[in-house]
Structure 1
Amino acid sequence: MNIVKTSEGTTRTLALEGRLDTTTAPQLEGEVKGALTGVTELVLDFSQLEYLSSAGLRVILAAQKIMNKQGKMVIRHVNETIQEVFEVTGFSDILTIE
């Protein structure tokens, strides 16, 4: 998985490319834990994300909990397969997906 990071003011965007699974979830977790100081909006761009596992869902939930305390988190450009994962797991009810 590749993570492309961009910042604009207090907004941090993480664009994910590839697969977010057991192998790559720690990579995103490291980025989230180290990248959110002073951030009031976290944008996760899933336009190039091909696969999402339960390990990835755990990291996304942890990021949401952090951002609930200091701002907001938005997930953008979700494909049908990943949207279905969000709906089946109930994550679509607790995440902001655009």
Structure 2
Amino acid sequence: MTQQTLLAIVGVFIGIAIVVSGSAGSGNWLGDLLAVFGRVMSMVTTRYATATEVSMTLMLETVLAPVWAYLFFTEVPWINSILGGAVVLITILAYTLYLTKEDS
């Protein structure tokens, strides 16, 4: 086990301890726990993917937030949110197509 993986595991346990103790967080323990886990996993991911790929994937979190809000809470997103998300998704798609052409 590498030092970075060990530190990530320790970070998850520290995050869990903080959330469970109630000393920090939003009061939504499951959401806080998943946020800690997601951040640690995105840190570990940088070992296996390029920084560009990781940052583009993290952009999807922001782009897909209105979609999840609509699906789970029937909250209709503003047109600006839809247009901005479309720009980011088109950019990610274009970059992915560029990489696949470059590899073949």
TM-score if structure 2 supplies the norm length? Answer: 0.28
Q: Which has the higher contact order (CA 8 A, sep 6+)?
A: 1
Higher share in strand: 1
Instruction: Indicate the structure (1 or 2) with the bigger Cα radius of gyration.
Output: 2
